[in-house]
Amino acid sequence: MKKLFLLVFLLFISILLVINCKPSSQNTPGPVSQAPSGSGEAAILVKQVSAIFGTIPEKMPGADKDTEELVRLGEKLYFDKRLSDKDSQSCNTCHMVDNKKGGVDNLPTSPGAHGKNGKRNSPTVLNAGFQFVQFWDGRAATLEEQAKGPMLNPVEMAMTDDKKLVKKVSKIAEYKDLFKKAFPSDKKPFTFDHITMAIAAFERTLKTSDRFDEFMKGKYNALSADEQKGANMFITTGCITCHAGPLLGGSMYQKIGVFKPYKNTKDLGRYEVTKEEADKFIFKVPMLRNIAITAPYYHDGQIKTMEEAVKDMGSLQLGKDMTDGDITSIVAFFKSLTDKSRI
């Protein structure tokens, strides 16, 4: 009798589990009609990834205050090489956003106005305004503050000081009307702060949209079975320890080389900003949105492929030897993170 009761009880529990695993119109995002076979597993994965990551917000912080005139001015400034010492470099030179580029120049490190390369890889500007800080070492808190750096950096755009830059821009006839419209209440619209405010306003429009967000909104067939497997592998392997949130990164600092030292021990990372011993080899965790089009990788640009990056990260950060199958799955998932307009 006890055995019969146990069998009936187990059957009852099994039925409940099957019912709970089925997506319903009440608790599953998006139209169920779009769900392919295996949508039960997809619905469960959607709940997991939505809780861990979440979709990219509609607007970047501060965008509500940006006017069309300010964004228009910022876009022109972003592409203008005259903001550099030799009229050879623009923001877009190192952070290319035209021609379906990923907000980078795809070089290990970038050459500046005088031909010398910087020591760090140029990170993507796409979605940058959602990050908690800017630059690999976090030395800028905002997009406006970040924009000031390269223009006055002697290795990058190499303008000797902000006054020289403002004077140069104010003499360009086409900017007179643009600055006046962007800053109508200012008697002196040409200032260094206004230049960086405008560039930041344009950068706040560089929000991307990809298939992973579509998947989290309930379009289950937005990701292939391999990509869904990769998303699950990304979670279970432990990558989400650092790469969580809507950007899959960009929200914290972490040491590179948690389990073993990274080969490049010359760049001390955030230590160069704080001079605190604990900050040696600490860097901002890069966001993984659009990773498939932003190679090469790491702060020094020495990792050429996603496969190499995944394998290396497993070893350095998680103390794991990633199998070829694991790497292939995670890389497949990464490809779903590319902005649809840049494919």
DSSP string, 23-44: --TTTS-S-GGG--TTHHHHHH
Radius of gyration for the alpha carbons in the chain, expressed in angstroms and rounded: 24
CA neighbours within 13 Å on the CB side: how many for 224?
A: 11
The yes-or-no verdict on residue 117 having pLDDT over 50 is yes
Which numeric CATH code is attached to 39-56+209-342? 1.10.760.10
Q: What is the separation of C-alpha 279 from the centre of its chain, rounded to a whole number of angstroms? A: 22
What lies within 8 Å, CB to CB, of 138 at 6+ separation is 253, 270, 273, 284
pLDDT, average across residues 217-226: 97
Q: Which of 97, 102, 104 is nearest to 118 (CA)?
A: 104
Compute the distance between CA of residue 27 and CA of residue 13 in angstroms, rounded to an integer: 21
- Please give the biggest Cα pair distance in the chain: 95
> pTM for the complete prediction?
0.88
Q: Say what percent of the chain tops pLDDT 70.
A: 89
In this structure, are residues 275 and 286 in contact, taking their beta carbons and an 8 Å threshold?
no
In this predicted model, what pLDDT tens digit does every residue of 280-312 receive, in sequence order?
Answer: 999 999 999 999 999 999 999 999 999 999 999
In this structure, are residues 222 and 212 in contact, taking their beta carbons and an 8 Å threshold?
yes
Q: What is the 8-class DSSP label of residue 54? A: -
The yes-or-no verdict on residue 15 having pLDDT over 80 is no
Question: Helix 225-237 crosses helix 39-52 at what angle (to 10 degrees)?
Answer: 40
The yes-or-no verdict on residue 268 having pLDDT over 80 is yes
Name the average pLDDT for the chain: 91
In this predicted model, what pLDDT tens digit does every residue of 143-163 receive, in sequence order?
Answer: 999 999 999 999 999 999 999
Q: Which of the following is catalytic: 69, 75, 144, 156?
A: 156
Range list for CATH 1.10.760.10 in the chain: 39-56+209-342, 63-203
Confidence of residue 28 (pLDDT cuts 50, 70, 90): very low
Q: Which of 56, 118, 64 is nearest to 338 (CA)?
A: 56
pLDDT at 38: 62
pLDDT at 39: 78
In this predicted model, what pLDDT tens digit does every residue of 4-13 receive, in sequence order?
Answer: 333 334 333 3
* 156 noted as active-site residue: yes
Q: Which CATH architecture has domain 63-203?
A: Orthogonal Bundle (1.10)
pLDDT, average across residues 236-245: 98
Q: Say what percent of the chain tops pLDDT 90.
A: 88
pLDDT, average across residues 173-185: 97
